[in-house]
Amino acid sequence: MKTTYRAMQVSSPGVLELVTRTTPTPGMGEVLIEVEACGICGADIGDIEGADPNLVPPRVPGHEVVGRIVARGAQVPSIWREGQRVGVGRLGGHCNECVQCRKGEFQLCQNQPFVGASRDGGYAEMMLARATGLVSIPDELSAEEAAPILCAGIATFNALKKSGAEAGDTVAILGIGGLGHMALQYARRMGFRVIAIGRGADVAEAAYELGAHRYIDGSREDVAQILNHLGGAQAIVATVGHPATLSAVMGGLASQGRVLLLGAGKDPLSVSAGQLVVGERAIQGSITGTPYENEKTLDFSVLTGVRPKIEVMPLHRANEAYQRMKSGAAAFRMVLNVAATAS
C-alpha cells in the first residue's frame, strides 16, 4: 500500500488544490478505500464554496465514491473484505445507537456524517469510510457509471418509489439535469407516463431520448394547464428548488397527488393551502437513502439498463470538472477518474 496519496482539497472557499497526504489507518468500524472514481454533484457547490477556511487539514469534497477496500479497521463486519468493490454516497454511515437507527430509519440517523462536508470525501486516491455506509457495487457497472447512481440515482429512484404513483399513472419530472436525467430513465422503466418539464427547446430531444412521453417547455408553456389536460400528475418529482418554479407547477397535481422535493434549498416555498386541502394533495421531502436501498438502485439500474450520461476527467482536473458542473455545461454528470494517470 502507498504511504502517501493525492487529494484535491478545498484550500480556500471555492478553490480546489492538489496536495499529497499521508495514507491514514482505518479506525474502529472503518475501512480504507482506494478510490477509482468519484462523481461531482450539485451539492458539492455548498461543500466547496462554503467550506470552513479554518479547518485543518482542509476538507476533501466528493460523495459519489467507488473504489476497493485496501484495509479494514477493528470490528468491521466480515461481509466487507479487502479487495472488494464498494461505494459510498452522501450519507456516511449510521451510528446504530440513536432513536432513528433503533427504528430502522438509518437514512435519518442523527449521528452520521455527510461525506465531503463533515468528513473527507472522494476527490482523492484514498478515503476512510464507516463500514455502515458501504455499498456493494455490481460487476456489471464500471466505477464511472456507478458513481453518480450513489447519489443522483438513489435520490430519484427512492423519490419515485415514495411517490404513491402506480404503473400507468402520470409522473412529471421537474428539471432535466444531473438528477432529472436519471429520474426520467427510472420513471419510464417503472411503467409511468413520463412528463419532462424543463426550460427551452434545446433539452427536448434529450428528454425524449431519456424516456419522456411528453416534454413541456416551462419558459413558454403553461405547465399546470398542460398537466391538467393530461388528467393531472399523480406525482411531481422536483429536482430543482426554485420556489417560483415549484409554485407554478403545483396546480397540475392530481387529487391525492404528491410533490417530492429533492433540492434542500433554504428559500420558503409559497403554496396555497387550498391546493393541498381540496384534493388532499401533499408535499414531501425525500433524502437519498440507506446503503441497502442504494444497492437496490444499482441492481435495478443493471436489470433495466439505466445508466448516467457522464463526462469523465482525471483527478488533477477536478477544478475544471467542478466548474463545468457548476456552470450547467455538463451533459449530464461529471465524474473524476481518480485512477487515471496524471498528465
| Average pLDDT value for the chain | 94
Name, in order, each residue with C-beta under 8 angstroms of 169's C-beta and a sequence gap of 6 or more. Answer: 192, 193, 234, 235
- Is-contact 130 92, C-beta < 8 A? yes
- Is-contact 38 120, C-beta < 8 A? no
Q: What is the mean predicted confidence (pLDDT) over 265-285?
A: 85
Measured distance CA(86)–CA(92) in Å, rounded? 13
Count other C-beta atoms under 10 Å from residue 327's C-beta: 8
DSSP annotation of 96 = S
Measured distance CA(67)–CA(290) in Å, rounded? 18
Q: Residue 40: which pLDDT band, with cuts at 50, 70 and 90? A: very high
Measured distance CA(100)–CA(242) in Å, rounded? 30
Measured distance CA(301)–CA(184) in Å, rounded? 13
Least confident of 187-191, 201-205, 299-303: 201-205
| % of the chain beyond a pLDDT of 90 | 86
Q: Is the pLDDT of residue 65 over 90?
A: yes
Q: Is the pLDDT of residue 104 over 60?
A: yes
Residues 153-285, CATH architecture: 3-Layer(aba) Sandwich (3.40)
Q: Where are the domains of the chain?
A: 4-137+309-337, 153-285
Name, in order, each residue with C-beta under 8 angstroms of 140's C-beta and a sequence gap of 6 or more. Answer: 302
pLDDT reported for residue 341: 55
Q: Are strands 15-22 and 4-12 parallel, antiparallel or unpaired?
A: antiparallel
Residues 4-137+309-337, CATH architecture: Alpha-Beta Complex (3.90)
33 DSSP β-pair partners:
69, 127
For the segment 135-164, what is each residue's pLDDT rounded down to a tens digit? 999 999 999 999 999 999 999 999 999 999
> What pTM does this model have?
0.94
Helix, coil or strand: residue 323: helix
> DSSP string spanning 129-176?
EEGGGEEEPPTTS-HHHHHHIIIIIHHHHHHHHHT---TTSEEEEE--
Q: What is the mean predicted confidence (pLDDT) over 295-311?
A: 98
